[in-house]
Structure 1
């Protein structure tokens, strides 16, 4: 089946141009400039960007990936897809090793089906002093042997693990992850600048939600944020919801790292798309008021209620990034991190037809995943 989308402002790796594109059997087969050579479905001059790739999210629509429940995972992925996230990696939070193994094994089956792009273990190998919304009673020192068991449960689908490298066993666990082809992310850490550098040298190539759950920048004690921003091997996650970081700090990160080393993530929890109330994030109770999620006990920020379309829109309208920068950060850079940029993450001939059609105000008009239009959000 062939579909031609006409009268579009297409955001490609080469820039933005007025034109058209053709979808056949779920893939992009033609991308043209100007008027389409034949009839097609008009997009009314709207922007078309590649489907968003979220490498850090815990759920949405009242459903949670950390639950390990496949039906909840399907519901969360479907919700986020209707907001433009056509590729999603499921993030777990700190739990017992037995519960993490169970959840990882269950989600791995959804990776087999192509619903998920992988599993991210955000805990339990994180610093108690920077635990955020993770259960302090379940935190553990990093262990290469223990991690190996979790990777076996995931059958190759665990794609990323967050580690505080300053903890006993931290550097060894980073090296063990990288040796298995797993992305090592530095996060929820109290590392000094030098300890962060050691983590990077050991193999950390991603910063889990930069700024959050890390010591702040200081001119005499730069800490891990400076180490992560200045190293060309590291890509930094940014939660652009107006709560986790001020727009000026996002501009600073993009100025230092560039759109090729910065990714927009949601860190969304089950409350995304829902009203105010009390929800669960792993074993922790979370209160959501005015769209902001905080722990009932202690008040720490507990993930977000963000969706990628909102993160993208804020990047342009509030942070002041260009459409091309926001597209790179929401789609191409995270696809490259996951090693899937050969078939998604940009509007390129031969790629999957993963597309987000945006209105003039950058709200979502329609979403196409693998050549099929999704129901409206």
Structure 2
């Protein structure tokens, strides 16, 4: 196929912003970055960033990942691609073990046969069942990460498991982290209470905190709890749900400044309600209600979000005025891709997928396919 050029007003590369440069694209892949475009380039009014990478997608557009059908998963991938996501981890939450393994196997099969529709699945995120603090999860289905369960999980996912969230205080948590890391799976800490086990699990290889502060119990000036214990670890990146409900704006602002562009990670934690009108949807086996922008269980507990990655980026820029497009690229694309080893995603460079997001001068977003 013929090579074509995209020339934005400003281009965001992994280490700098460049004015006047052009991206060379062939057959959906970046083949070069030129200092000057020359004739025939497609002009783009705005700043060009790589497509975003979302580590936690439970659903979108009225469909849910636990449905685990090709139709549902294709629909979700297409829905999130329209709002800036080029790569993602379909995420399964806590369920009875056999049911969860059945879902995981079906999602793994879908990934193996991905047909190129919408955002590309980069692997599976299992958020549970090795949790302590349920949040909106099924507390009755939470279990310890025994070696047998870890091995079955790895076998069932057939090399497609990329991220597991577990509570550091669960019996055998540090050993499970080490086993998963040896199998090439990234590990996040979340859904716990208190700081017990954090040091041991980080030493064993855990590198992420899942939706910092949410489902992590309290903290105070005398007890850092789980959230501040993780925030204090420089080797741990922290994912954040910036929907205006999961984190108070003042807390979110201080956390972002503490983490900086190197450690912050934006996620949607979107559920089926994302992109849909107010009403009742499902998260796993539970009904959840979207009202006033927040998604909650019938008991009032926050249950994922209706957030898109474009909206999360907007929230970041509002909360953190000193941030700009380069910071957005780090926390919404580069950092999440790095944490799961997703080659070809997270930056504009040779060999990367030619799926971009354009930030206009008026603050609007647009998906740009190469």
Corresponding position of 1:76: 76
- What secondary structure is seen at the aligned counterpart in 1 of 2:300? coil
Q: 2:249 & 2:362 partners in 1: Cα distance?
A: 19
Aligned counterparts, 1:141-160, within 5 A = 141-160=144-163
Corresponding position of 2:204: 202
Q: 1:162 & 1:72 partners in 2: Cα distance?
A: 23
Instruction: Work out whether residues 266 and 308 of structure 1, in 8 Å CA contact, stay in contact via their aligned partners in 2.
Output: yes
Instruction: Work out whether residues 268 and 308 of structure 2, in 8 Å CA contact, stay in contact via their aligned partners in 1.
Output: yes
Instruction: Work out whether residues 344 and 354 of structure 1, in 8 Å CA contact, stay in contact via their aligned partners in 2.
Output: no
Corresponding position of 1:88: 88
Q: 2:358 & 2:257 partners in 1: Cα distance?
A: 27
The alignment's C-alpha RMSD in Å is 1.7
Q: 1:228 & 1:58 partners in 2: Cα distance?
A: 24
Corresponding position of 2:129: 124
Q: 2:113 & 2:245 partners in 1: Cα distance?
A: 34
Q: 2:15 & 2:153 partners in 1: Cα distance?
A: 40
Residues 8, 152 of structure 1: CA spacing in aligned structure 2 closer, same or farther, 3 A cutoff?
same
Corresponding position of 1:374: none
- What secondary structure is seen at the aligned counterpart in 2 of 1:258? helix
Deviation at 1:330, TM superposition (A): 0.3
Corresponding position of 2:97: 97
Deviation at 1:7, TM superposition (A): 4.1
Instruction: Work out whether residues 8 and 48 of structure 2, in 8 Å CA contact, stay in contact via their aligned partners in 1.
Output: no
Deviations 1:66-99 (A, max 9, x none): 2212210110111101111000101101111111
User: Which deviates the most, 170-179 or 91-100?
Assistant: 170-179
Q: 2:129 & 2:89 partners in 1: Cα distance?
A: 18
Deviation at 1:17, TM superposition (A): 2.5
Residues 302, 352 of structure 1: CA spacing in aligned structure 2 closer, same or farther, 3 A cutoff?
same
Instruction: Work out whether residues 187 and 208 of structure 2, in 8 Å CA contact, stay in contact via their aligned partners in 1.
Output: yes
Any gaps of 5 or more consecutive residues in structure 1? Answer: 372-377
Corresponding position of 1:64: 64
Residues matched between the structures, number: 362
Corresponding position of 2:337: 335
Deviations 1:285-330 (A, max 9, x none): 111101210001x211000000101101211123322221111000
* Structure 2 residue 167 is the aligned partner of structure 1 residue 164: yes
* TM-score where L is the length of structure 2: 0.93
Aligned counterparts, 1:126-275, within 5 A = 126-127=131-132, 130-192=133-195, 194-275=196-277
Corresponding position of 1:349: 350
Q: 1:282 & 1:211 partners in 2: Cα distance?
A: 22
- What secondary structure is seen at the aligned counterpart in 2 of 1:212? coil
